[in-house]
Structure 1
Amino acid sequence: MLDFLIKGGHVMDPASGENGIRDIGVHNGRIVKTDGEVQAEHVVDAAGCYVFPGFIDAHAHAYYPGSGLGVPPDLQAATGVTTVIDAGTAGWSNYAAFHNTTVVNSMVRVKALVAYNNSGQIELGYVENYERASVKPEKIRSILERYPGEVLGIKLRFQKEVTGETGVRYLREAIEVAEECGCPITVHTTNPPATASEIADLLRPGDVYCHCYQGKGSTIIDKNGHVYEAVRSARERGVLFDAANGTGNFAFSTAVAAIKDGFFPDIISADNASNSYGLELYAKNLPFVMSKYLTLGLELEQVVRCVTENPAKRLGIQERIGTLAEGAVADIAIMKLLKKPQVYWDSVKDPSTQMYGEEILVPQMTLIGGMPAFRANDF
């Protein structure tokens, strides 16, 4: 007997190629076949809904309560998110505390980046110390070795407000440390001290160019409205581009031009933190941000791929999560796509830059490892 039978939903799983109405079975925390008549302890009527693999929010701030930016990961279960990647909220000096207080105590699966500086991003407005003499590569390496499979690499907040007018110096040094540690690096690129092309030229396969549609300072769009060739070349050699919305890291002017030029994100993440989750119209949750990309012209399957298959590949566990294939972990997000007028803001914070959409993804139920983590009262 199955634990759950999810009946009649529109299954959309880019990783396996599924895109149509069928039933999904869950037993012992895994996806199982449902050929023919089957019995289940719990039957979920998903008619009129989409059934997706559990979403992966690949850029979040989950160190709660250790950072003023932190949002408890399990809150995100109510939005269909089953895995989060913390974006360097902790550094090597406090990573063990993050692991012991947050990672091991969360139902939502938590992976992480370790900050390039010693203590991470512990509060809004905090300015990290990136002077090479104060960075301790051996300590960063020890965190990577102590938490294999959990800590994915290094995070650098490459922003003038942090680095000053230092050009590519800090980025070069951080990449050298990443080379020493044998790991990728994720680079925050809002208002960078170098050009988008200079950043892209330095990044290696597997590195992440984060906030790719930001609109402050140098962006990925040239004076003619096209994506720089250096940015395209970076993608061709395996650099990943993450939209990572947040409240200050997304501009319609950049996103519209890039998408018109055929440059879509590899990953769509919400960059949820205490100043965004559940608040206003910037990035209140991941399905909200996903809905924005439908308004920008992406197909639903493209958007879903950016929060399931692609980040699962980045994690290297694409056979376990980010898919509804038989044998995968039963992380499932059930959503309705409602026709409803919706307003979306960007970080320019000017009413003239608002965008208006006609549909919105609304969470109905989330299963994590086959266990209900959220269910709407009317579902």
Structure 2
Amino acid sequence: MSEHIDILIENGNIIHAETKTIQKGTIAICNGHFVAYDPTVSYEIGERIQADGYYVSPGWIDSHTHIFKDATEPGFAADLGLIPMGITSTIDGGSSGIATWPIFKSHIVDANYLNIFYSINVSPAGQITERYPENVDPRYYDVDTLKNIMEKDAEHARGLKLRYGAEVVEPFGNDVLDKTIELADTIGCSITLHVTNPPCPMEEIVSKMRPGDVICHIYQGKRSTILDEKGEVKKAVWEARSRGVYFDSADARINHCYKVIRPAIAQGFVPDIISTDLTQNGIFSNMCWGLPVVLSKWLNLGLPLEEVIADCTYQPARIHHLPNGIGTLSQNAAANVTIFSVEDRNFHLKNRMGEEFDGEKMILPQVTIINGKIRYKNLYFPF
């Protein structure tokens, strides 16, 4: 009797995100995991996918979204919105705090096909609306409850989230970031730090961040940015990177600025992670749309395809310590796969800063496989 394979993806252009290389090949999946494939062996195959002419990569990770549907205004339906975008895993960026975490865990994390991870907001209520900022007063930080969440749900919890924008933190004094770092040190976790519209110079912020922390919206253009008055990436930013601090694009509608992006990447300061900061108001909008469009934008900005895909697969999985081999195509890893095409297609974007962007090549998801199950297939993809 022949051996069994649930899904065989044949003749695809396989992107190995760890090494940023592409080679023609075949991928086999059985019982939710990648398995070895020997073309000389006769197999019973459940489904063959002919991927000739398409790219095959580890399942895409959108490592900054807001998916606390029905409990927060920015939250949208995760499976419905993200799976057709080629996304197999996502990290919610602080939608829930300790007061709302139980509902977030039971109704979002445990109730979707997607692999869902999250950062806990330092605000007990989380980020429930875009109408006004969350309360990040350090007097209300609850070390014991936060530590209990991190230990109880170590598989999914990925550290703390602080929005360090002037509109959020100025009512609470100058030590919010310092107190958050103390909190993270006590708990033993990383911080994801929002830096759009910072209350102090960017170099002061990045100098405080620790190895393993993630600074998101790093190409923002409000108040102090990563560039100095000469348009050069600040020395403190380079030093933070060399120290082990990571940088996430988290573009969103207003958290990116081409006057910062273009000089920065010309100097070699490219993102460690590409993500969206997608919300109910941003999804499918011309300003952001979702991960395929954001990835396409970075491809058109000049990043090689292999690097773009690594920045939404292997890199976020490595940086955020995602389990089960997520972000790779390694044998025995959980079988998360995105099959996509790169096509000549003009597109136009306009962000909330009034900047416009035109692209010529579009990355189009075709098939989404989550933990060994096909959860989406484009109608135009070969049957």
TM-score between the two structures when normalised by the length of structure 1: 0.95
In the alignment, structure 1 residue 149 sits paired with structure 2 residue 155: yes
**Aligned AA for 2:157?**
V
**Distance across 2 between alignment mates of 1:318 and 1:230:** 32
| CA distance 1:340–1:17, change in 2 (3 Å) | closer
Residue of 252, 257, 265 corresponding to 2:258: 252
Flag the 1:335–1:359 CA change in 2: closer, same or farther, 3 A: same
Note if 1:362 corresponds to 2:349: no
Partner of 1:375: 377
Distance 2:13 2:174 in 1: 47
Take 1:167 and 1:221, find their aligned partners in 2: how far apart are those partners?
26
1:284-343: per-residue Cα shift (whole Å, max 9, x none)?
Answer: 111110110011110001111111111111232466110112222110000010111111
In structure 2, the residue corresponding to 1:177 is in which secondary structure? Answer: helix
The residue type equivalent to 1:229 in the other structure is K
1:87-236 matched pairs, under 5 angstroms: 87-164=93-170, 168-236=174-242
The offset of 1:270, in angstroms, is: 0.8
Once the two structures are overlaid, the 10-residue window that deviates more, 55-64 or 317-326, is 317-326
**Aligned partners of 1:100, 1:318: CA distance in 2, in Å?**
20
**Aligned residue type for 1:212:** I
SS of the residue 1:201 aligns to: helix
Structure 1 residue 140: Cα displacement = 1.8
Q: Secondary structure at the match of 1:269?
A: coil
Name the aligned partner's letter for residue 379 of structure 2: N
Q: Does 1:324 align with 2:329?
A: yes
SS of the residue 1:23 aligns to: strand
Residues 1:21 and 2:27 are matched in the alignment: no
Decide whether the 8 Å contact of 1:210 with 1:241 is kept in 2: yes
Structure 2 stretches of 5 or more lacking a match? none
Structure 1 stretch 6-15 or stretch 36-45: which is displaced more? 36-45
Distance 1:57 1:375 in 2: 19
Structure 1 consecutive aligned stretches of length 4 or more whose deviation exceeds 3 Å: 165-168
**In structure 1, C-alpha distance between the alignment counterparts of 2:246 and 2:178, rounded to whole Å:** 18
| 2:128–2:134 CA contact under 8 A, matched in 1 | no
RMSD: 1.5
Cα 1:136–1:253 change in 2 (3 A) is same
CA contact (8 A) 1:10 1:21 kept: yes
Contact kept in structure 2, 1:16 and 1:323, CA below 8 Å: no
Structure 1 residue 163 displacement after superposition:
1.7
Matched with 2:246 is 240
Query: Quick one: structure 1 residues 319 and 98, their matched pair in 2 at CA, closer, same or farther if it must change by over 3 Å?
Result: closer
Contact conserved, 1:168 with 1:198, CA < 8 A, in 2?
no
2:53 aligned residue: 48
SS in 2 for 1:164: helix
Please give the per-residue CA displacement for 1:246-302, whole angstroms capped at 9, x wherever unaligned.
11101111111110111010000011110111222x221111101100111100011
How far off its partner does 1:357 sit? 1.2
1:311 and 2:316 are equivalent in the alignment? yes
- The one-letter code matched in structure 2 to 1:335 is F
Alignment pair present for 1:67 and 2:72: yes
Report how far residue 33 of structure 1 moved: 2.4
Displacement after TM superposition at 1:25 (Å):
1.0
Counterparts of 2:177 and 2:63 in 1: how far apart (Å)?
A: 21
Q: Report the identity percentage.
A: 34
- Equivalent runs, 1:5-16 vs 2, <5 Å: 5-15=8-18
Give the secondary structure class of the aligned counterpart of 1:8: strand
Counterpart-to-counterpart distance in 2, 1:17 and 1:258? 21
Q: How many angstroms does 1:131 deviate by? A: 2.0
Alignment-derived partner of residue 79 in structure 1? 85
Q: 5+ residue gaps in structure 1?
A: none
Match of 2:296 in 1: 291
Q: In the TM superposition, what whole-angstrom CA distance separates every residue of 1:155-176 from its partner, at most 9, and x where no partner exists?
A: 0011111122777521111111
Return the alpha-carbon distance in structure 2 between the equivalents of residues 147 and 326 of structure 1: 26
Q: Letter of the 2:135 partner, please give it.
A: N
- Cα distance in 2 for partners of 1:246, 1:275 equals 10
Contact 1:166 1:193 in 2 (8 A): no
- Work out the CA distance in 2 between the residues paired with 1:376 and 1:228: 44
Cα distance in structure 2, aligned partners of 1:377 and 1:344? 26
Once the two structures are overlaid, the 10-residue window that deviates more, 318-327 or 190-199, is 318-327
In the alignment, the residues of structure 2 paired with residue 71 and residue 345 of structure 1 have an alpha-carbon distance, to the nearest angstrom, of: 22
- Matches of 1:81 and 1:305, distance apart in 2: 14
Q: Which amino acid aligns with 1:148?
A: A
Q: Counterparts of 2:350 and 2:34 in 1: how far apart (Å)?
A: 37
| Counterpart-to-counterpart distance in 2, 1:157 and 1:16 | 33
Structure 1 residues 253 and 318: alpha-carbon distance in aligned structure 2, compared to 1, 3 A threshold: farther
